[in-house]
Structure 1
């Protein structure tokens, strides 16, 4: 079951009562500010903001996937550039107004860049960016919001998913695999499309189970491990022996169920083989379709710190190295035919020999 998140206490120098009130209305906060007293300034004085403002998507930090990938970039940027920062959790059942308030709070309090993790922040970023033209805003997984101070950070998820499909098709012993999407929305359709195309490229006769956990994000499709576990149980019972999920926190349930039945699971976004919360099942995590959200957060922050803010649409793909397939599991590396097939597929996509679909 999904646990209710407890707000993490801030160490950043944001002590005014008004901020505390706003933060409580917007969901939990967690500060990881630098311990110096320069307010986040660089030695040359050019960067004077408080640091990075990061607003998490549904599921929040600790999802072992999408949000945690963003946090990794946030943490690395703070360390490398010696700046402060604050990351904020979503609230349970929150409205669009809550998201707008969260983004505006970060901008008003002096954070730059301010980054919304996930397409759900698109309306909020569009609205708040107009009020704070000197602040750089980032929105991950959406390319519809446009302004001189907005960077749309988007990925070719379908390419990494294609590699996951190739791996699944080569690893299955029964020619039967499964896909579990968190929410039935266009961005998750990209994961399905790439996966299915990758599977079929190996063997068109392989059977593919497909399941979406919910129709809308607020229904818990990205935040309910129990829903993921139930869906995985159904697909395994139907005969699939390799499952790929694109379901955020719900994917933990998919991996848990697959692992408990000693079947392969393929993770998403972060390298889920390396996640501590999934250590009990990691031997059954064949690999993960990687999406370097952390790298995008880092890139945007670096551009702001250096005084040359990144704006417009930034697309990350296999060629850039920001999308891929992990090989952390030694068992995967020992499957030479699987590795060779994935590497060939990657090469074909990068060279333009294979164009991956974005719709099922």
Structure 2
């Protein structure tokens, strides 16, 4: 059942379109990510759902209720900001309890304690924000939003200020909590890896538009255009006609294609392999090599352009910089754009 609906929403600032006729739907319990570069409109869309920005055109529905003209307090939406926005003079317990006290809720102590346990802050109830690590502060901000039992949780780049190790741990914890509560969540990030790791569905935004949406695996395997291919991964994006050395089939001539670096294979140029019908082939030279974990990334210059080729370190050994090579390119993995 559709739980969140963004229906033809448009937002302008000084006649500049920030959200351009945006429509999307989310299911109950879905974790969706708005992914895009700075200034693409993703945070504005999140703030519009929260009621912190008014939309010029369109409607926003949550659980089949139109919340477009409701105040932020009436929307039953929780939001966690990048800056945490904790009260520095309040303890962990009081920060989390703040909204409940404002609403004069019952059983505040038990609700807060349950949330403290859920976000793994037991023993920190009496601590103040300055006594906590960045990751712990983020957990407090998350608990403060969740204790209000919102229908939708909004997360505006909440992990961007954390170091890599803490960030990865919190990604897992955030997903665990979200699944445990089955809460519909909208997450904003410009980090492709974070989006791919955490999301059920990704909406890629560019200049106020949603340019592609779908499951992470679908978007990664089947980008719809050059922007998505360049943004979502490390695709090689090129025009077939730019490569005189590329042996290719006529049906793709004149079109841009995207090729993932991990599907390419490097062999020394002097090996003299015949061109196989299922492969294209290009000759080049290794210009640079970098390593990420057990993955080697080669930069291979072909006719003045650079191909990125990824391979596992243990597969076939490491080729040296300056080596003349052939790149074998599987036709089945080339995506016409």
The TM-score with structure 2 as length reference comes to 0.26
The structure having more radius of gyration, on CA atoms, is 2
The TM-score with structure 1 as length reference comes to 0.25
